[in-house]
Amino acid sequence: MDKIYMNQLSFYGYHGVFSEETKLGQRFLVDLILELDLSQAAEKDDLNASIDYGDIYKQVQAIVEGSPFKLVETVAQKISDQLLSVYPRLVSCQVKVIKPDPPIPGHYHSVAIELKRNRYEK
């Protein structure tokens, strides 16, 4: 299966279980791996046979910068559900949501969750 990678999409959202997160907000990064057949797009040099990356960005942005959720797991699931429902060519969607600066003690680069959803397993 062919893949489209979209890496480190950057947004500002208000997701989290702590009151500071929902009041002050924080950065979120999103990585996507979108699986679909790109052979027709490549052969015909036609965007209509692929997926518009700008549209994908806007769909993800609306979720991450929209209504707050307590868990990044929920954010990732909402992104996956949205993309699979809007883009019929999409066979599967792998979503990684990264919180670079979560309010937890310790030294680390970031925390993240990743999930993969397939159209035909729903």
Domain coordinates in residue numbering, the chain = 2-121
**pLDDT tens across the length of the chain (122 residues):** 999 999 999 999 999 998 889 999 999 999 999 999 999 999 999 999 999 999 999 999 999 999 999 999 999 999 999 999 999 999 999 999 999 988 888 888 889 999 999 997 65
Tell me, what's the pLDDT at 121?
63
pTM for the structure as a whole: 0.93
- The fold for domain 2-121 equals GTP Cyclohydrolase I, domain 2 (3.30.1130)
Active site members: 99
Q: Are strands 26-36 and 111-118 parallel, antiparallel or unpaired?
A: unpaired
**Cα 35 from Cα 87, distance rounded (Å):** 11
**Cα 19 from Cα 9, distance rounded (Å):** 25
